[in-house]
């Protein structure tokens, strides 16, 4: 990230001069508060295309193929479930499929104006459709199905087909809710024989009322959206054609981005993303309420959100921003999430909101005794840095401190865990990698129109020369991939984890578009994030798409799901440049044998075999898109899923029988910090159930030199304990 900042400083004046020259060609005087300002939209298009073409690492040609991509992305974004537009609308829109490149160059808004007006019309018509459908009971005895794979579904050919699509989608929602309600009633009766169970008719009516309220609220949000909101969708369909990480931030989104770097928020502590009509949990923030609750997990789909004791609102099909607004809230308030787990089961999870602190994303370490030896585990959630305060905390300094503490504690090996680490500061990667090698190149970088730059660790001091294992998974991205790649290329340590890491080998800069406009009369134009650089390993290969392939691959529940950069449309390609000049680590006599030993253990481990089986089952479940709308068949299918899910319960019950403890300095702090103690206790508990950490420690065992006798070490530990007591 420091390289990114320097790049911006070097080029900012040049960019500003050129852009200002361009902007002065326009005499637009705009009021930023207006919802409909075509002149502002035209200026925005001009600025976006100019900045991208000048600063993007490899800007795409604005041609017919570019136009086709915009068209596809934009139409899918407007109507992902294909429940608004008719085939006749698509036929009309398709006339512009190969004209959007020309419209962009000419700042022509004809296509956007047409689609926006038609979307508003169809949404207004849909309001009448769903109200009519919900006005009478559903017949759940009918044997009919619905396919929720909307990508492959055709658009309705007429109003009758559109009405039927709405009917089936609403029926699926109410059927699922009805079955859940019946289960709740049965459980209440079981716990209290005197309880009077609600009748089928009452429950059926309740589900329609709930669905109606949810849709009313959904269309209420829709009505709140103005032309600028939909124009942002169009803009991002354009920017996404350059690469998936080039995005436009509307003023409101930029404001939320600014808030996000303030250090804390009030909510449940989960990161979300849209997945078709659903909102998916992608990550739980360490230390947050959701993380502490241990019930929510990555991959869960949020179906409903309830505030305290109020009726839950269905959020399927709702905007991500609107779902986030419902989930966030003041500290101490309760939110109830109805989620579809990755195995297909439905659960209601209650979470009390709290302040989610960025502090929990800082590096932390733990000590574990195993087979008479002592090992250190360092967890690094992100490569953080304080650009404003040079004396502030950064990952490089903190990891160096943790390594020093572990050395003083007498550890015989270190596991550095960068699972789920999405990246961050580039300078900290260099600093951290430099702790484990004498000196040499760490990463190579290419910027748009510039020769490659090699970043070196120039400090000959080695902080840790003992056994080292780096843990990764499919969500280890960007900076964490650079670190893993450097350690792997030097053969300094063993990389263990998922088959490969995420595969994001690019850097983005965020440009405030308001800085490029002279007139103060111009409304807030938001910001642009665009890709400006590409990373390369010191062996010459890019981390883009390919990521870093683990030396030891461990079965992963999400191994078969499409979650990496390679699965994103229009991702930048993998390529290769000349390798840097470096020498491999020489003190690794047990390196190859340790890898062989680990692979053999994994193959013969029943728990890993069950994880692999579960991963395949989850993959198969993700491909099942057809639901029967007959209540008996629906219940039967759900019961079958629940029964199969029981087979994988041992995965959550697993314990590795290892005891993890905090370092002495932290124990002292925890005596006066109950919150920190709770966080560390939960982390240590998680480590004690983590089979992946257990295998990483097994690898450290295999990397030990012959000079270290486990028996002698065990005897020494006993003597040390006698002396201390």
Report the catalytic residues.
478, 489, 504
Q: Maximum Cα–Cα distance for the chain, whole Å?
A: 85
Q: How many residues does the chain have?
A: 725
Structure tokens at 359: 């502090």
SS3 553: strand
Alpha-carbon gap, residue 680 to 668, rounded angstroms: 13
Alpha-carbon gap, residue 392 to 257, rounded angstroms: 21
130 membership: H or E segment, kind and range: helix 110-133
SS3 443: strand
Handedness of CA 237, 240, 244, 248 (dihedral sign): negative
351 membership: H or E segment, kind and range: strand 346-352
In the Cβ-directed half-sphere of 384, how many Cα atoms lie within 13 Å?
Answer: 19
Handedness of CA 2, 3, 8, 11 (dihedral sign): positive
Alpha-carbon gap, residue 544 to 53, rounded angstroms: 21
6-14 LR contacts (CB < 8 Å, sep 24+): 7/447, 7/509, 7/532, 7/533, 8/509, 11/55
Alpha-carbon gap, residue 596 to 600, rounded angstroms: 6
CA nearest neighbour of 314 among 346, 344, 353, 267: 346
Three-point CA angle 476, 482, 487, nearest 5°: 105
* Contact (Cβ atoms closer than 8 angstroms) between residue 270 and residue 283: yes
- DSSP bridge pairs for 336: 306, 350
Three-point CA angle 484, 417, 360, nearest 5°: 125
Other C-beta atoms lying within 10 Å of the C-beta of residue 479:
30
Alpha-carbon gap, residue 1 to 7, rounded angstroms: 10
Ramachandran region, residue 545 (left: φ > 0; alpha: ψ -120 to 50; beta: rest) = left
Alpha-carbon gap, residue 269 to 263, rounded angstroms: 13
User: Helix %, strand %, coil % for the chain, to 5?
Assistant: 45, 15, 35
Alpha-carbon gap, residue 620 to 624, rounded angstroms: 7
Tokens 């079965």 sit at which residue? 555
Q: Taking each helix axis from N to C terminus, what angle separates 691-702 and 591-604, rounded to the nearest 10 degrees? A: 140
Alpha-carbon gap, residue 402 to 397, rounded angstroms: 9
């Amino acid at each position: 990230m420091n390289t990114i900042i320097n790049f911006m400083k070097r080029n900012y004046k040049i960019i500003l001069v050129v852009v200002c020259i361009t902007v002065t060609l326009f005499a637009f005087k705009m009021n930023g508060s207006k919802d409909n300002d075509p002149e502002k939209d035209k200026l925005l298009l001009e600025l976006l295309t100019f900045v991208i073409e000048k600063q993007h690492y490899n800007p795409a040609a604005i041609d017919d193929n570019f136009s086709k991509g915009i068209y596809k992305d934009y139409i899918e974004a407007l109507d992902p479930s294909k429940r608004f537009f008719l085939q006749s609308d698509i036929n009309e829109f398709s006339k512009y499929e190969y004209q959007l490149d020309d419209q962009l160059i000419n700042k022509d808004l004809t296509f956007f104006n047409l689609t926006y007006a038609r979307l508003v019309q169809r949404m207004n018509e849909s309001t009448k459709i769903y109200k009519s459908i919900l006005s009478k009971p559903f017949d759940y005895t009918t044997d009919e199905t619905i396919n929720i794979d909307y990508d492959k579904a055709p658009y309705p050919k007429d109003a009758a087909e559109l009405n039927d699509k709405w009917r089936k989608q609403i029926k699926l929602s109410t059927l699922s809710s009805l079955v859940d309600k019946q289960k709740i009633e049965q459980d209440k009766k079981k716990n209290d024989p005197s309880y009077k169970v609600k009748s089928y008719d009452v429950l059926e009516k309740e589900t329609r009322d709930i669905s109606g309220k949810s849709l009313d609220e959904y269309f209420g949000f829709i009505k709140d959206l103005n032309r600028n909101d939909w124009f942002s969708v169009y803009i991002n369909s354009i920017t996404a054609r350059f690469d998936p990480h080039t995005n436009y931030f509307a003023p409101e989104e930029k404001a939320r981005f600014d808030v996000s770097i303030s250090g804390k928020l009030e909510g449940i502590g989960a990161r979300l993303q849209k997945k078709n009509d659903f909102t998916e949990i992608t990550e739980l923030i360490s230390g947050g309420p959701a993380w502490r609750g241990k019930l929510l997990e990555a991959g869960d789909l949020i179906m409903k959100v309830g505030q305290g004791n109020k009726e839950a609102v269905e959020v399927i099909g709702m905007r991500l921003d609107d779902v986030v607004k419902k989930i966030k809230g003041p500290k101490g308030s309760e939110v109830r999430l109805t989620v579809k787990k990755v195995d297909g089961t439905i659960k209601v999870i209650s979470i009390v909101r709290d302040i989610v602190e960025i502090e929990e994303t800082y590096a932390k370490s733990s000590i574990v005794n195993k087979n008479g030896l002592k090992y250190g585990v360092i967890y690094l959630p992100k490569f953080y840095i304080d650009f404003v305060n040079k004396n502030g905390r950064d990952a490089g300094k903190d990891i160096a401190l943790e390594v020093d503490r572990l050395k003083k504690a007498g550890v015989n090996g270190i596991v550095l865990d960068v699972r789920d680490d999405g990246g961050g500061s580039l300078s900290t990667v260099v600093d951290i990698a430099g702790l484990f090698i004498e000196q040499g190149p760490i990463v190579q970088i290419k910027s748009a129109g510039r020769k490659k730059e090699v970043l070196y660790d120039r400090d000959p001091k080695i902080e840790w020369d003992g056994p080292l294992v780096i843990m990764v998974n499919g969500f280890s991205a960007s900076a964490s991939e650079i670190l893993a790649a450097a350690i792997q290329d030097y053969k300094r340590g063993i990389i263990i984890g998922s088959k490969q890491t995420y595969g994001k080998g690019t850097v983005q800069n965020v440009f405030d578009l308001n800085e490029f406009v002279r007139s103060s009369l111009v409304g807030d134009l938001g910001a642009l994030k665009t890709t400006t650089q590409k990373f390369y390993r010191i062996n010459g290969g890019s981390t883009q798409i390919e990521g870093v392939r683990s030396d030891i691959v461990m079965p992963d529940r999400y191994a078969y799901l499409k979650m990496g950069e390679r699965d994103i449309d229009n991702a930048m390609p993998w390529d290769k440049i000349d390798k840097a000049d470096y020498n491999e680590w020489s003190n690794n006599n047990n390196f190859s044998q340790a890898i062989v030993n680990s692979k053999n253990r994994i193959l013969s481990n029943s728990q890993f075999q069950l994880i692999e089986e579960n991963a395949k089952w989850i993959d198969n479940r993700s491909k099942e898109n057809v639901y029967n709308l007959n209540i008996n068949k629906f219940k039967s299918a759900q019961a079958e899923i629940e029964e199969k899910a029981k087979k994988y319960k041992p995965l959550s019950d697993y314990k590795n029988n290892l005891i993890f403890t905090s370092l002495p300095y932290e124990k002292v702090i925890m005596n006066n910090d109950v919150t920190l103690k709770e966080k560390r206790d939960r982390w240590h508990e998680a480590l004690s159930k983590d089979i992946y950490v257990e295998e990483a420690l097994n690898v450290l065992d295999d990397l030990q030199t012959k000079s270290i006798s486990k028996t002698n070490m065990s005897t020494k530990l006993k003597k040390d304990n006698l002396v201390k007591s």
